[in-house]
A and B are shown apart, each in its own frame.
Chain A
Amino acid sequence: MDRPIRVLVAKPGLDRHDRGAKVLARAYRDAGFEVIYTGLDRSPEEIAEMAIQEDVDVVALSILSGAHDVLVPKVIRLCREAGADDVLFLAGGIIPDEDRPRLTEAGVAGVFGPGSDLDEIIRFTRENVRRKVPR
């Protein structure tokens, strides 16, 4: 039976700007997704652990501090090392255009900056998620 898409909305690093993360978590929930929000102040290790434990299909990383270049690839690497290689990774926040190729290379499928349309993010998630075989 089809289960709803499970999304982990995560705030890596020390940055406390959680307005976008919360709005996105709510939008996913309203669109019928199962949402887990990490809350603030999560290390890459903690986020990867939650992604594995909660068996999520999507990890949406919101970061506005500029540390995305270090922390986003680290979360992806840790997730993959733990065997979660079918997860869809999204990134949002203050991410300069010129940083996008490097994030894509690290495994981010979509980058959504300020002013992104919530419907667009939800549509993108639905179209790109790789549905897991139920374990």
Chain B
Amino acid sequence: MAKAEVQRPGTGPGEPDSERREEFRTLSGLPVARVYRPQDVADLDYERDLGDPGQFPFTRGPYATMYRGRLWTMRQFAGFGTAEESNARYKYLLEHGQTGLSVAFDFPTLLGYDSDHPRSEGEVGKDGVAIDTLADMETLFDGIPLDQVTTSMTINSPAAILFAMYLAVAEKQGVAWDRISGTIQNDILKEYTAQKTYIFPPRPSMRLITDVFGFCSRHVPRWNTISISGYHIREAGATAVQELAFTLADGFEYVKAGIEAGLDVDSFVPRLSFFWDIHMDFFEEIAKLRAARRIWARELRERFGARDPRSWAMRFHCQTAGCSLTAQQPENNVVRVTLQALAAVLGGTQSLHTNSMDEALALPTEKAVRIALRTQQIIAEESGVPNTIDPLAGSYFVEALTDTMEAQAYEYFRRIEQQGGVIPAIENGFFAREIAEASYRHQLALKRGDVTVVGVNKYVQEDEAPQPILRIDPGIEKKQVERLRRVKAERDNARVERCLKELAAAARGTENLMPYILEAVRAYASEGEIVGALKDVFGVYREEPIY
């Protein structure tokens, strides 16, 4: 039955007033009006709410010159197989104009299992590079001077260990620690909420993180000690609003933990960075990034009393949404990634990973990765978009949406506070429930056709040609296990044992654990052995599944 037409102002002569849908919403479910007008942003105060780029509250960007000074870092996440193979992929990417490295580790490494552990069977080198000891890390960065690249490492529970290996490689290359830069993800809170690569319970995990904050503020001043990540929360099924709110709440929790560990707020907060997922809803993503900077700046200045403007200015990495990629008609993913990358740039990201078109099928092939990188280069160097800063500021719609996202984030902060804060909310399953609910709602919307995914629930094509994919050689596991055996046979095992004992003793106390982890790493103790020593003291975490 046709819906009765409602007469609305603004209809041109002869135009019907009916619309395609009863209501329009963003991908996260926020209502979208037909048109936005000055009254929608009547309360907007330029100095208070936006400020110039590089000025409080940094809504328009953390730096005064943004991409006119330096383009964002093009940083493709990569790693597979053994250290040799990943090293070759990094060199390939650097030769093709990539400007930073981003290391993907395999599941055994993410979870602190050595390659020869029974639980590692079938997983070694599959989703990232397998790293067991310092010897693997030396190979991974062979021929890549660490003072000439910045490296991001996606590692969380065992972050301190892999970071110690990186520092040890720098030592071996003769590069001073104050000359290296990069990021470790090191964000344990979102592991309990979304990504699930936790090992230890929340409280000892928080100690490892504040130990890294403290160690870096003294010894590795240019290192980003954490990448507080919304990405995995979003990929687990959260909405953009939930991603924004939960991630910022995690960020505030780390600030509190640092302060409680006795650190001065301005000594470690400037090295905290963020990581956002960029999904399909173009304006919603841009509004999310702008709102994130504004909330962070205000809270750091007003709630936490930070005085250094670098503590107020949020810097972040973005990655296009893996969960938006389709296995069907994979070439269409190039277009999706282009739109998402453009949103990240318009939102003022400091670095960007663009997904490859074949990632719903397998790890990306070299060709697919090259297209993804070229997508960034075309935006950077052909489109003209980076030539002026935050060009969407003042748009009635974008400013109104930025305000809405901010208001909804504060509503979540209130609900998290009501439960006693982030860790109690993790422990009582609040985040898991909220995300599972949003994820299921989205799946139902897809099924009903309220949300369109081209090639999946609309414009479906039968009999698609098979796509070439990257295959991981199953022989890698054996090779890696042999390599680990060789290292264990050649090292000074008495020294390893002593280091592990000292680490465990320190873990029972309150000292900073980084120097002990470094000693163990230098002695070629394996990741699994170091994690094992810590597990004995800290215990392990298991979640109650909620769906």
Instruction: Quote the shortest CB–CB distance from A70 to chain B (angstroms).
Output: 3
Q: Is the CB of B439 within 8 A of A114?
A: no
Contact for A15 among B127, B235, B453, CB less than 8 A: B127
| Interface membership of B543, Cβ < 8 A | yes
Q: Is the CB of A37 within 8 A of B545?
A: yes
| Interface membership of B360, Cβ < 8 A | yes
Q: Is the CB of B326 within 8 A of A16?
A: no
Contact for B439 among A22, A37, A94, A115, CB less than 8 A: A22
Choose, from B11-19, B82-90, B405-413, B466-474, the stretch at the interface: B466-474
| Interface membership of A83, Cβ < 8 A | no
Instruction: Quote the shortest CB–CB distance from B143 to chain A (angstroms).
Output: 28
Choose, from A48-56, A61-69, A127-135, the stretch at the interface: A61-69
Q: Is the CB of A113 within 8 A of B122?
A: no
Determine the residue in chain B with the shortest Cβ distance to A97: B466
In the complex, what residues of A have CB within 8 A of residue B327's CB? Answer: 113-115
Given A39-B543, A115-B456, the answer on whether A14 and B326 have CB atoms closer than 8 Å is: no
Q: Is the CB of B360 within 8 A of A94?
A: yes
In the complex, what residues of B have CB within 8 A of residue A13's CB? Answer: 107, 122-123
Determine the residue in chain A with the shortest Cβ distance to B363: A66
Instruction: Quote the shortest CB–CB distance from A78 to chain B (angstroms).
Output: 13
Determine the residue in chain B with the shortest Cβ distance to A68: B122
| Interface membership of B304, Cβ < 8 A | no
Choose, from B57-65, B113-121, B387-395, the stretch at the interface: B113-121
Give how many A residues have a beta carbon under 8 Å from the other chain's beta carbons: 34
Determine the residue in chain B with the shortest Cβ distance to A13: B123
Q: Is the CB of B122 within 8 A of A26?
A: no
Given A19-B235, A96-B362, the answer on whether A65 and B547 have CB atoms closer than 8 Å is: no
Determine the residue in chain A with the shortest Cβ distance to B237: A19
In the assembled complex, the Cα of A43 lies from the Cα of B123 at a distance in Å of 12
Q: Is the CB of A66 within 8 A of B547?
A: no
| Interface membership of B245, Cβ < 8 A | no
Q: Is the CB of A18 within 8 A of B440?
A: no
Given A25-B547, A37-B545, A118-B447, the answer on whether A65 and B123 have CB atoms closer than 8 Å is: yes
Given A67-B122, A118-B447, the answer on whether A16 and B362 have CB atoms closer than 8 Å is: no
Contact for A14 among B111, B195, B325, B469, CB less than 8 A: B111
| Interface membership of A84, Cβ < 8 A | no
Per-position binary interface string of chain A over residues 116-131, scored 1 when its CB falls under 8 Å from any chain B CB and 0 otherwise: 0111000000000000
Q: Is the CB of A96 within 8 A of B195?
A: no
Interface range on chain B (Cβ under 8 Å from partner)? 35 or more
Q: Is the CB of A66 within 8 A of B472?
A: yes
Q: Is the CB of A16 within 8 A of B547?
A: no
| Interface membership of B126, Cβ < 8 A | yes
| Interface membership of B378, Cβ < 8 A | no
Q: Is the CB of A16 within 8 A of B123?
A: no
In the complex, what residues of B have CB within 8 A of residue A109's CB? Answer: none
Determine the residue in chain A with the shortest Cβ distance to B432: A22
Per-position binary interface string of chain B over residues 533-547, scored 1 when its CB falls under 8 Å from any chain A CB and 0 otherwise: 000000000111111
Q: Is the CB of A71 within 8 A of B122?
A: yes
Q: Is the CB of A37 within 8 A of B107?
A: no
Contact for A115 among B110, B120, B328, B363, CB less than 8 A: B328
| Interface membership of A105, Cβ < 8 A | no
Q: Is the CB of B545 within 8 A of A40?
A: yes
Q: Is the CB of B107 within 8 A of A14?
A: yes
Q: Is the CB of A19 within 8 A of B439?
A: yes
| Interface membership of B323, Cβ < 8 A | yes
| Interface membership of A98, Cβ < 8 A | yes
Determine the residue in chain A with the shortest Cβ distance to B235: A19
Given A26-B547, A43-B119, the answer on whether A16 and B440 have CB atoms closer than 8 Å is: no
Q: Is the CB of A96 within 8 A of B119?
A: no
Instruction: Quote the shortest CB–CB distance from B105 to chain A (angstroms).
Output: 11
Per-position binary interface string of chain B over residues 298-319, scored 1 when its CB falls under 8 Å from any chain A CB and 0 otherwise: 0000000000000000000000
Determine the residue in chain B with the shortest Cβ distance to A22: B547
Q: Is the CB of B126 within 8 A of A23?
A: no
In the complex, what residues of A have CB within 8 A of residue B543's CB? Answer: 39-40
| Interface membership of B196, Cβ < 8 A | yes
Of B111, B120, B474, B545, most A-chain CB atoms within 10 Å: B545
| Interface membership of B197, Cβ < 8 A | yes
Instruction: Quote the shortest CB–CB distance from A95 to chain B (angstroms).
Output: 9
Per-position binary interface string of chain B over residues 97-113, scored 1 when its CB falls under 8 Å from any chain A CB and 0 otherwise: 00000000001101101
In the assembled complex, the Cα of A25 lies from the Cα of B127 at a distance in Å of 25
Within 8 A of B (CB), among A1-44: 13-16, 18-19, 21-23, 25-27, 37-41, 43
In the assembled complex, the Cα of A98 lies from the Cα of B110 at a distance in Å of 28
In the assembled complex, the Cα of A24 lies from the Cα of B466 at a distance in Å of 26
In the complex, what residues of B have CB within 8 A of residue A71's CB? Answer: 121-122
Q: Is the CB of A119 within 8 A of B447?
A: yes
| Interface membership of B481, Cβ < 8 A | no
Given A40-B196, A40-B543, the answer on whether A66 and B127 have CB atoms closer than 8 Å is: yes
In the complex, what residues of B have CB within 8 A of residue A22's CB? Answer: 436, 439-440, 545-547
In the assembled complex, the Cα of A43 lies from the Cα of B120 at a distance in Å of 10
Within 8 A of B (CB), among A66-106: 66-67, 69-71, 94, 96-98
In the complex, what residues of A have CB within 8 A of residue B360's CB? Answer: 94, 113-115
Q: Is the CB of B328 within 8 A of A16?
A: no
Instruction: Quote the shortest CB–CB distance from B101 to chain A (angstroms).
Output: 22
Q: Is the CB of B436 within 8 A of A14?
A: no
Contacts A70-B121, A114-B327 supplied; 17 other A-B pairs, CB < 8 Å: A14-B113, A16-B195, A18-B236, A19-B323, A19-B439, A23-B547, A37-B545, A37-B547, A40-B196, A43-B118, A67-B121, A67-B126, A69-B122, A70-B122, A70-B474, A71-B121, A115-B326
The 8 closest A-B pairs by CB, nearest first: A70-B122, A67-B122, A16-B196, A14-B107, A22-B547, A66-B126, A39-B545, A115-B456
Q: Footprint of B on A, CB under 8 Å?
A: 13-16, 18-19, 21-23, 25-27, 37-41, 43, 65-67, 69-71, 94, 96-98, 113-115, 117-119
**A-B CB contact pairs (8 Å), 28 listed:** A13-B123, A14-B119, A15-B123, A16-B195, A22-B436, A22-B440, A22-B546, A23-B237, A23-B440, A27-B443, A39-B543, A40-B543, A40-B545, A65-B127, A66-B123, A66-B472, A67-B107, A67-B126, A70-B121, A70-B122, A71-B121, A96-B361, A113-B360, A115-B326, A115-B328, A115-B456, A117-B447, A119-B447
